[in-house]
Structure formats: C-alpha cells, structure tokens
Chain A
C-alpha cells in the first residue's frame, strides 16, 4: 500500500530538484476546460494524461491548470496552450491518446499539432 511515508520521500526528491533548478522564467501553461460539458465529454482523463506525460518527461517549465467553461460545448474537451511569446493555441475534441503528441511536439519542440487545433476542426 502507498503511504504518507512515500509522500515524504517524494517531497525530499522534489526539493533537491527545486534547488538545482531555481526559478524558471519561460513558463508554458496548459489550461483544460472543466465545466459540465467538458467533464461529460471526457476532460478528466485528458487532464490526467497531461499531468502524467509531464511528470514522466520531468518537464518543470509547464503548469497545468483547470478553468470553467471555454464556451463551445460541441468542441469539448477543449485545451488551451500558452507558450510565452507565441499565440495561444486551442486544441479541441481532445482524447487522452492525443496528449503525448502535443506534449512532445508542442510543449517540448514548439511545433503546433495543427491537426488537433480548432482551426482544423472548423
């Protein structure tokens, strides 16, 4: 069974990493719409997949957050990506299996995954 002891060990590891890293400037933000229709359309596993992938790759310059309604029910789940100095990118009708490509291509290599964007859907 997992225990609070294990959480303590995670804390120690994270603290060491923080000391090495220092404050980071170019923070990328991933925002997932989590209002009623987002949740009904599958936003929860999409959100979990982003957190998973970001943890696995150890990306320290990405924050994932939740917001309410982004405004277009039929395109939910919707995810917005903000890279400093670049235009906002909106991904629509998201599924967990689309997440690794977005993380690798967009968040790491700064190439938008055009096929998944709102522009491609419209």
Chain B
C-alpha cells in the first residue's frame, strides 16, 4: 500500500465484515514523530487460536481466495519503520488493532488521504457509529457520525454523494491544518 490511510481503510473493512456497529479510529502523533494508530470495533472478534495466527498471510476466512493479506501487510508496514503491531480480540466482544510507526523512518509511507478514507468508510456503512480522531502536536482533526446524524435526522442517509463530499471536505480542511502546523515546527 502506498499510503498509511489505505492500510487503515483495509483494516477497518475487516471490522465492517466482522459485523461491527461501532468503530473507533484514533491516530496519535507525538513530538518525536511516533504515530500510534488504533482501530477498535465491537464486531464478532476472533478465537485465541485464530488470533495467534491471524497475521500469517495464509490465515483468512474469505472464500474467494486462499490468502488473507490485509493484516500481514499492515504488520510489515509497521515493522519496516521499527514499529509494532498488536491485536487484542475477544469473541463476541470485539477487536482492537494497534500499530505504531516512526514517521521519520525512510520506509514509512505517507499518511495519505485520511479524509477520503474516513468519508468512504462512512459512505460504505452509513449505519455504523464511527468515531475518528487524529491528534498531533499541532492540533486535532475529529469527526463522529453521531454528531452528523443529529444534524441530518433519520431521512437523509450518510451514503448520499452530497454528504460524502461534505465529509471529505470537512475533514481534509482539518487534516491540512494539522499537517501545516506539523511542518511549521
């Protein structure tokens, strides 16, 4: 994957496939350039036995092909920067995937289009309760579908193209400010 935001999109799709009704995506950057990405869901979870081998590319419950690559690729991306990946999961309760990246490392992919990732996740699962929060030394970018639904009411779906466009613009403005503030340091 060329961007961390594409990994995030892919790992978050696992949560959607696991039947999650709530998804929390949190990015925290510290002043030294370490980034911690947490993707937490309340989906069906994994058994301890399955969890133990889930980052093995040959572990998948998909039926269309024999390899599941998402988490294996994510692990590789984190480790290539000197970071780590850890997965907590409990059957019937949910899964939390935490990865750390050294953004100053040469092999660290750029963050990429985080706004586009979040907007597409919401568009694809408009019923999902999604909380997104990206904090960095320069500030914070934040969005919650609960707030959006309060404004939109019941009759306008978060899957509408107009709403997708608004979410994307709303978040990219916040993200641009964050990146700008980081570069000024």
Contacts and interface: CB of A to CB of B under 8 A. Distances in A.
Contacts of B151: 4, 7-8, 11
A47 interface: yes
Interface string A43-78: 011011001101100000001111011010100000
Contacts of A11: 151-153, 156
B123 A15 contact: no
Contacts of A48: 116, 119-120, 164, 168
B175 to A, nearest CB: 12
Mostly, the A contact residues are helix
Given A14-B162, A44-B9, A36 B73 contact: yes
B153 A51 contact: no
A53 to B, nearest CB: 9
A2 B17 CA distance: 31
Given A7-B152, A7-B166, A10-B162, A36 B173 contact: no
A51 B117 contact: no
Nearest to A57: B161
A113 interface: no
Interface in A1-36: 1-2, 4, 6-8, 10-11, 14-15, 18, 34-36
Given A2-B169, A36-B73, A69 B64 contact: yes
A68 B12 CA distance: 12
Given A15-B156, A36-B10, A37-B69, 10 more contacts: A2-B169, A7-B148, A11-B152, A11-B153, A34-B13, A34-B124, A44-B116, A44-B117, A48-B119, A73-B65
